[in-house]
Chain A
Amino acid sequence: MTFTPSNRSKTRAGRVLVPALLLLATLSISGNALAKDQFRIAWSIYVGWMPWDYAAQTGIVKKWADKYGIEIEVVQINDYVESINQYTAGAFDGCVMTNMDALTIPAAGGVDSTALIVGDFSNGNDAVILRDKTELAEIAGQEVNLVELSVSHYLLARALASVGLSERDVTVVNTSDADMVSAFASGGPTAVVTWNPLVSEILAMPKTTKVFDSSRIPGEIIDLMVVNTETLEANPALGKALVGAWYETMAIMSKDDEAGRAARTAMGKASGTDLAGYDAQLASTKMFFEPADAVAFAKGDQLPLTMEEVASFSFDHGLLGEGAPNPGFIGVAFPGERYFGDDGNLKLRFDASYMQMAADGAL
């Protein structure tokens, strides 16, 4: 009998089908069971998130989890966007991300999320860099390499607006952050927007000038620990353990004593630099070492204005989904019964209550 083409396609389809079925079966199982005692949080490498690695490695997370009778697994994900996507898909109960990504990925995907910890905001870590030019306005007409639809893109939009330009005056070239430095070294790109530690590596090259950075828009690029709202409501212990572990780590790393330096050295090493390199990155990061500062920031008047700005940028770029009729389509809640957007569709909630417990020493 001949081996006919239809036989071939049948077996090929069969080989694809079985894994596909398994994949779909996995996807259709929701990851967020309600009351439980085992949790997984995801983190990726960035100056403001290295404390999670340190807290997990040194047993601080375990100590706090034990105190509340739960287990917390801290997982490092090499790809930042992938970690958020995994969280959104339900594979993790919590994940670190920026305020903009929290709005555009899980919240826009219908996953009700709570910003449990406001860890820091970028205060110079994100920058617009030009080659051979020294003024921001000279960016007009250039190709700008950046990770499109990320906070870099947002920073560019804010930078352009500050000199009366718009995105139509430049050409945005989507470039992977992994290849940003080697691409710039190749001599091709003349304008980039990126974040540390890439910023410092690019600025070390000749004829480069930082023409705009996030210290000009302080408090707009915020780094958060985001957890699933339903999971948190059913398991307040998770929130307490995470916040407790976080501020214990903050207290250790913020001191300029031996333990503090050792902690920062470990965080620096884990992110591919050393103590000096890590301290330099911390200098352009506004860390909220004290829970009371983070509470004040979350309760402050600027946060709702920032989220409004971020929401309208995201809406203009189609990041809120095609069904979104206006920037306020996804509601954002702030401490003190304040809202931005549709309060019938609240999907992102800034919650200062757990950080307040830490500030009051009530954990």
Chain B
Amino acid sequence: MKRLINQCPGPVSTAALALLPFVVLVLVYLLASDARLAENPNDKLLPSFTTLAESFVRLTSVPSQRTGEILLWQDTGASLRRLAQGVGISAAIGLVLGIVLGAIPLIRSGFAPFVAVLSLIPPMAVLPVLFIVFGLGEVSKVVLIVVGITPFIVRDLQQRVQELPRELIIKAQTLGANSWQIILRVILPQILPRLIDAVRLSLGTAWLFLISAEAIAATEGLGYRIFLVRRYLAMDVILPYVVWITILAYLTDFLLKQISRRVFPWYHTGGPGR
């Protein structure tokens, strides 16, 4: 008999096994929700799927009484804008600093330990300071994301630059390239797909900081809405929002992966690429 560790499911059972936990989760939710609703029809903790669906339709199609905007789209727009700004700035800083720290030993000796220490500061701990320095507006929310993920991207890219085959750098030098040309023509193209990897890995953290910042002070946004309606236990709003955020996060990740595949096909032909 085949050992357990050598038994592989076929394509159909792979799909079935992947779906199974989701189906079980939905079933358990359904049972628990029915049990609570049977006892108290107004229970808000585990709303029925009908309520969730109605609420989702309302959130995506009916303009709000107070602002005249459709809430889910308004919140999604606001949150994605902040996320894009925060992640964009972090990626730009990360790319420049990562290459500089990785490629130039003089600068690395001076700043790499500093960046390493900075990356250890928990961003949530300095949140009150960020609010005082940058105010309660859009800036502090973007800054929180930048503070939260930039050190990781910088350190990751620095590491990737240092891991580049030494032969490549030496060969470029024997061909007469100066430092600037090596950075621009050898290191940069090699590092760009790795930047996309680093961004993909930090997206989860970026979402975390985005939602945290929106929970503290905001007028719109996905995190804002969740923490607002938490006040009256509106799980019929919170649960669809959580699902929507998960979908958005999955889609951004998927999109970045596809961009990387299209633009840097060489990176994905075996080797370290993903």
The interface of chain A, by Cβ under 8 A from chain B, is 1, 4, 6, 9-10, 13-14, 16-17, 20-21, 24-25, 27-28, 30, 81, 85, 88-89, 104-105, 108-111, 145, 148-150, 167, 171-176, 178-179, 182-183, 185-189, 316-319, 321-322, 347
Contacts and interface: CB of A to CB of B under 8 A. Distances in A.
A299 B7 CA distance: 74
Given A27-B32, A186-B133, A186-B135, A176 B217 contact: yes
B239 to A, nearest CB: 13
6 contacts: A13-B22, A16-B21, A148-B228, A149-B231, A175-B136, A186-B133
Contact of A321 (B6, B31, B44, B224): B44
A37 to B, nearest CB: 22
A175 B231 contact: no
B228 to A, nearest CB: 6
A175 B217 contact: yes
Contacts of A186: 131-133, 135-136
Nearest to A318: B65
A178 B14 CA distance: 48
Nearest to A316: B65
Contacts of B255: none
A20 B232 contact: no
A17 B24 contact: yes
Of the listed residues B5, B36, B228, the one surrounded by the most CB atoms of chain A closer than 10 A to its CB is: B36
Interface in B231-262: 231-234, 236
Contacts of A28: 31-32, 35-36, 46
A179 B230 contact: no
Contact of B32 (A9, A25, A167, A171): A25
B128 interface: yes
A7 B31 CA distance: 28
B1 to A, nearest CB: 16
B18 A85 contact: no
A17 B21 contact: yes
A188 B135 contact: yes
Given A10-B17, A185-B132, A110 B218 contact: no
Nearest to A109: B44
A187 B36 CA distance: 47
Interface in B66-109: 66
A174 B219 contact: yes
A319 B227 CA distance: 14
B3 to A, nearest CB: 10
Of the listed residues A110, A150, A167, the one surrounded by the most CB atoms of chain B closer than 10 A to its CB is: A110
A81 B231 contact: yes
Given A174-B228, A186-B133, A322-B58, A179 B217 contact: yes
A42 B135 CA distance: 35
B45 A89 contact: yes
A249 to B, nearest CB: 29
Contacts of A171: 219
B14 A145 contact: no
A316 B64 CA distance: 11
A148 to B, nearest CB: 6
B43 interface: yes
Contacts of A322: 54-55, 58, 236
Interface in B1-32: 5-6, 8-9, 14-15, 17-18, 21-22, 24-25, 28-29, 31-32
A345 B186 CA distance: 73
Nearest to A32: B39
B232 A319 contact: yes
Contact of B131 (A14, A150, A179, A319): A179
B217 A105 contact: no
Contacts of B8: 1, 4
A89 B22 CA distance: 25
Nearest to A108: B232
Nearest to A179: B216
A20 B58 CA distance: 27
A105 B215 CA distance: 19
B41 interface: yes
A171 B219 CA distance: 8
A20 B217 contact: no
A24 B128 contact: no
A252 to B, nearest CB: 34
Contacts of B178: none
